[in-house]
């Protein structure tokens, strides 16, 4: 919970920091914080030192503010117009890969045991592994992670850098924030994105009791279903990014993925009680494919709607919306599930996805970054320097 609780209030200073200091410094602050928090947790392996582990976890949660907004910004700064969406999807893929590893490795490394000393030794080994990995990443990023390429990869990015470099035209972070919050299309996306990802968070959080209601004794399967959702989502992220780069149909792709997420939710709702747990694997994976596949689509559509505002700010606000809706929907879903049952809880979530689909449908396709790319290309042709 500390991850979600800290992210929401810190997204604004985090976005301001990325906007002011750039990719390299922001990424280094993120990995340094992650590394420090991981090493603190190494020294928390004792029943009386839980607070030390919590401090370490809180530091890592603080560091994620610098990490989660990076994919869309990094993709825009480093990749051309036919690669930027795929690059964003790879960033989302990496995030989901970490979640998938989190499903698989901890139960293997720290199995249940009545012996506290055994559990402590296993925890210590796992914490050392994470701390060692983050230390290696810190060294690699310090040596090789650069702020931006020597020349802009696209006409849109060249225009954005020209605006950032011109002091007379430079927009303050708060003015940029105001521009975003007065952009009606972005507000629609903020709501629809929050609803979609919030529903996904709620389903993922309460997957265990929902599945065990119909399939008691299948605890191992619930973990594997959770893993299947994440793996299908990773595939969905990459496929969505490739489709966007090939077609540049941002509004159409966003609406299609959203509508299919909604359909997947209805299918999941009414197939839980078939008596075949294999069906739950399939329907849950379908849900993960489209709902997680929506993440890079939402980031990229947001970047298009808000250009030339910094991509880190728009994606940060989208993440904050997702965390807020995630907390609210998880509380609502939990209350409905334990008071009325899973059918009623799932129907409410499916109805929310219908609302999100309608909001997506009325969002206008104002592709500002694509327009800047076209204008920049035309200007280059007219000057004889294509």
For 78-87, write each residue's pLDDT tens digit: 888 788 888 8
Q: How many other C-beta atoms lie within 10 A of the C-beta of residue 37?
A: 23
Q: Is the peptide bond before 119 cis (omega within 30 degrees of 0)?
A: no
Identify the pLDDT of residue 132.
Answer: 96
Quick one: what percent of the chain has pLDDT higher than 70? 92
Give Cβ neighbours of residue 272 (< 8 Å, ≥ 6 apart): 210, 211, 214, 280, 283, 342, 346
Task: Give yes or no for a contact between 283 and 264, defined as CB atoms under 8 angstroms apart.
Answer: yes
Average pLDDT over residues 63-67: 88
Helix (H, G, I), strand (E, B) or coil at 153: coil
| Collapsed DSSP state (helix, strand, coil) of residue 64 | helix
Q: Per mean pLDDT, which range of 24-28, 123-127, 267-271, 301-305 is the poorest?
A: 301-305
The pLDDT score that the predictor gives to residue 154 is 66
The pLDDT-based confidence of 163 (bands split at 50, 70, 90) is low
Is pLDDT larger for residue 7 or for residue 213?
A: 213
pLDDT for 340 equals 93
Residue 92 in 3-state DSSP?
helix
- C-beta separation of 377 from 158 below 8 A: no
Mean pLDDT, rounded, for 310-315: 79
Q: What are the start and end residues of each CATH 1.20.1250.20 domain in the chain?
A: 1-170, 174-385
Alpha helix stretches (DSSP H) within the chain: 2-42, 50-67, 70-78, 84-109, 116-144, 155-165, 173-181, 184-205, 207-214, 219-247, 250-269, 277-306, 311-339, 342-362, 368-382
Q: pLDDT tens, 91-111? A: 878 887 887 787 778 878 888
Residue 166 in this model has a pLDDT that exceeds 60:
no
Residue 356 confidence (pLDDT): 95
Q: How many CB atoms lie within 10 A of CB 343?
A: 14
Q: Are 206 and 334 within 8 A, CB to CB? A: yes
Q: What is the pTM of this model?
A: 0.77
According to CATH, the topology of domain 174-385 is: Growth Hormone; Chain: A; (1.20.1250)
- CATH placement of domain 1-170: 1.20.1250.20
pLDDT band at 368 (very low <50, low <70, confident <90, very high): confident
State how far the Cα of 39 lies from the Cα of 127, in Å rounded to an integer: 8
pLDDT at 167 over 50: no
Average pLDDT over residues 241-267: 91
Neighbours of 25 (CB within 10 A): 14
Report the range out of 40-44, 110-114, 236-240 with the highest average pLDDT: 40-44
Mean pLDDT of the chain: 86
């Amino acid at each position: 919970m500390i991850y979600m609780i800290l992210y929401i209030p810190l997204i604004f200073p985090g976005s301001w920091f990325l906007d002011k200091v750039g990719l390299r410094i922001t990424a280094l602050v993120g990995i340094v914080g992650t590394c420090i928090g991981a090493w603190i947790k190494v020294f928390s392996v004792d029943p009386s030192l839980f607070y030390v582990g919590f401090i370490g976890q809180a530091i890592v949660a603080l560091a994620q503010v610098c990490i989660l907004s990076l994919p869309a910004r990094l993709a825009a700064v480093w990749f051309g117009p036919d690669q930027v969406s795929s690059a964003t999807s790879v960033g989302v893929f990496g995030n989901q890969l970490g979640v998938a590893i989190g499903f698989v490795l901890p139960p293997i490394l720290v199995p249940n045991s009545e012996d506290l000393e055994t559990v402590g030794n296993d925890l210590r080994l796992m914490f050392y592994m994470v701390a060692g990995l983050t230390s290696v990443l810190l060294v690699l990023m310090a040596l090789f992670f650069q702020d931006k390429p020597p020349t802009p990869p696209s006409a849109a990015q060249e225009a954005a850098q020209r605006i950032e470099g011109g002091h007379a035209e430079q927009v303050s972070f708060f003015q940029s924030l105001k521009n975003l919050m007065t952009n009606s299309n972005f507000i629609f996306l903020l709501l629809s994105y929050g609803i979609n990802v919030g529903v996904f968070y709620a389903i993922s959080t309460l997957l265990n009791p929902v599945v065990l209601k119909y399939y008691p004794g299948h605890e191992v399967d619930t973990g594997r279903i959770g893993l299947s959702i994440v793996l299908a989502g990773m595939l969905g992220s990459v496929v969505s990014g490739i489709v966007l780069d090939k077609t540049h149909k941002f509004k159409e792709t966003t609406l299609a993925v959203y509508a299919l997420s909604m359909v997947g939710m209805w299918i999941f709702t009414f197939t839980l009680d078939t008596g075949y747990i294999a069906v739950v694997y399939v329907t849950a994976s379908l849900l993960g494919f489209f709902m997680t596949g929506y993440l890079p689509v939402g980031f990229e559509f947001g970047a298009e709607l808000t250009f030339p505002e910094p991509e880190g700010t728009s994606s940060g606000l989208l993440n904050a919306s997702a965390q807020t809706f995630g907390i609210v929907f998880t509380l609502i879903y939990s209350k409905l599930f334990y008071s009325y049952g899973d059918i009623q809880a799932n129907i409410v979530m499916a109805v929310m996805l219908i609302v999100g689909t309608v909001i997506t449908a009325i969002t206008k396709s104002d592709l500002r970054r694509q327009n800047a790319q076209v204008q920049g290309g035309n200007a280059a042709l007219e000057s004889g320097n294509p």
